[in-house]
Amino acid sequence: MSNARTLRLSPAQVESYNREGYIVYDQPVLPQATFDRLLEIFEEDLDQYGYDGLDVIHFRDKRLLDIVLSDEILDLVEPVVGPDIGLWSTHFIAKPPKVGKATPWHEDSTYWNGRVSTMAGICTVWLALDRATKDNGCMAVIPGTHDNGFSQYIPVDTNQNIFPTEIDPTQIDESKAVYLELEPNRCSLHEGRIIHGAKPNTSDTRRAGYTIRFFPTTSKVFPERNQGHKIWLARGMDHAGNIYEN
């Protein structure tokens, strides 16, 4: 286990994350030179793959692994994931000005159902590459909704939304939504079962972020239900017989 003095969340932040299902980390996440390098990689990958081709981008661009498996990132998630950590996925998520679609209210766990033995403990780092504001479609969460992860969904218009379904609006109190506005190189952390979403980008500025998702290695990732999906042992040891990339 890492020396506790290197871990980046206070006990109060961990308690808030466990209670509410998210926290905002309003300090620089990466050293400036590393963040600048990440921005360069993002712009190159955006030019090569386009806005819709950036999911699990670290499968194709191995340069990202040095960043996502760095102590700066792992020391941030270990307090909430535990000392034995697997890398589940990463995704450059970018909304172009004016035309960025909405991200309907959803739980990540719904899309991962059956792929992992339990949703408990999965954590997403949402690292801002651009400034994220309410106007350009920053993420919003419904605090405290991470106790289930499998709400009822209804269809939505995919011309206006990036997913074909959303949580039934009758199950959500949007007055409780918290909008996570972030400066570049700041981040939020959210639990895999929390209800979250984002408005469309109606501004003149792009909104780009990098999501990095981790799981405790006490969870089993089922190979037969994750064809072609790769995971990495990020820190510590495996406890569930998972198969990792070298």
Domains of the chain, by residue range, sit at: 4-235
Q: In the prediction, which pLDDT does 2 show? A: 46
138-169 pLDDT, tens per residue? 999 999 999 999 999 999 999 999 999 999 99
What lies within 8 Å, CB to CB, of 4 at 6+ separation is none
- In the Cβ-directed half-sphere of 31, how many Cα atoms lie within 13 Å? 6
Give the pLDDT band (50/70/90) at residue 232. Answer: very high
| Cα–Cα distance measured from residue 72 to residue 25, given in angstroms and rounded to the nearest whole number | 13
pTM value? 0.95
Pairing of strands 187-191, 139-141: unpaired
CA angle at 105 for the pair 103 and 109, rounded to the nearest 5°? 100
Q: In the prediction, which pLDDT does 188 show? A: 98
Superfamily (CATH H level) for 4-235: q2cbj1_9rhob like domain (2.60.120.620)
- Measured in whole angstroms, the distance separating CA 24 from the mean position of its chain's CA atoms is 13
Least Cα distance to 157 among 166, 148, 170 occurs for 166
- In percent, the amount of the chain with pLDDT more than 70 equals 98
- Please state, as a whole number, how many other Cβ atoms lie within 10 Å of the Cβ of residue 234: 24
Q: Would the pLDDT of 4 be above 60? A: no
Give the pLDDT band (50/70/90) at residue 99. Answer: confident
Q: In the prediction, which pLDDT does 5 show? A: 53
Note the helical H segments in 69-131: 71-81, 108-112
Q: In the prediction, which pLDDT does 190 show? A: 98
Q: In the prediction, which pLDDT does 10 show? A: 97
Q: In the prediction, which pLDDT does 108 show? A: 96
What lies within 8 Å, CB to CB, of 16 at 6+ separation is 23
- In percent, the amount of the chain with pLDDT more than 90 equals 96
13-34 pLDDT, tens per residue? 999 999 999 999 999 999 999 9
Q: Would the pLDDT of 64 be above 90? A: yes
